[in-house]
Amino acid sequence: MPGPNWSDDDPADAQRIVANVTRALADVSQLAADRAIPAEADLKRWHSIVHDGCVVPSPAYVGRFRGESYPDVADYEVGVGPTMPDGFPDRVGVWAADVAGATTAFFGGLTAALTTLDPVIPAGTRPSMVDVLHEVVGVTAVAHGEWVRIHPFVNGNGRTARLLAAHISLRYGLPIFVTLKPRPHDVAYARASRRSMGRPPSFVGDHAEATAVFAHLFALQLLGP
């Protein structure tokens, strides 16, 4: 049986989460400075830091993926939006039983993308050509979108996806252009994140809108207030 629903934070935890995100960002920044490639343990650690001391329906939800052999998460399914005629929500994270395989593929793809970019943008530098900059922003958007598509955690997937986006930005000398907490107030960001998710049976997401939105957010960051 899946555990109790967890889709909203306890309002009393709002300031604690903001402080925790700042703590997690320090970990993210160090990993980026070291040019280490984020792995499963890192994303789980960030999730645990973000929700440290917060009220959650089950302790099993913090730092563990859906589908793991722990009570409450083993068969926890997630979806967002209204229920559609087929009985499923508008967007659905991959089945809990498939999270392990999906995250393994995700980290393999992330490793391939970052090891391709690393020699092009040496440590301590930033992209010097527009096409390379576009590639970094594109990798950031797709990594964010894929994490949201999989939805490995019961809750907090958007926060960890944005921490991952922050890692890639900092790794290549760019400013953090996707705000962490609160999430970007751009309606297009919310719509793009939803488009990145899929539906059964294929669970295929579309990251094209996320790529365009991320490019826009990056441009806004460069322009300043």
Q: What is the rounded CA–CA span in Å between residue 165 and residue 35?
A: 14
- Identify whether 151 is part of a domain: yes
Q: What is the rounded CA–CA span in Å between residue 75 and residue 71?
A: 9
- Identify whether 36 is part of a domain: yes
Q: What is the rounded CA–CA span in Å between residue 93 and residue 161?
A: 14
- Identify whether 5 is part of a domain: no
| Tens digit of each residue's pLDDT (9 = 90 or more) over 172-210 | 999 999 987 767 777 899 999 999 999 999 999 999 999
- Identify whether 143 is part of a domain: yes
Range of the domain at 23: 11-223
- Identify whether 4 is part of a domain: no
| Tens digit of each residue's pLDDT (9 = 90 or more) over 109-121 | 999 999 999 999 9
Phi-psi region of 203 (alpha: psi -120 to 50; beta: other; left: phi over 0): left
- Identify whether 75 is part of a domain: yes
- Identify whether 105 is part of a domain: yes
CATH number of the domain to which 60 belongs: 1.10.3290.10
Q: How far is CA 105 from CA 9, 77, 111, in A?
A: 30, 20, 10
Residue 225 has pLDDT above 70, yes or no: no
- Identify whether 121 is part of a domain: yes
Terminal CA-CA length for the chain: 48
- Count structural domains, the chain: 1
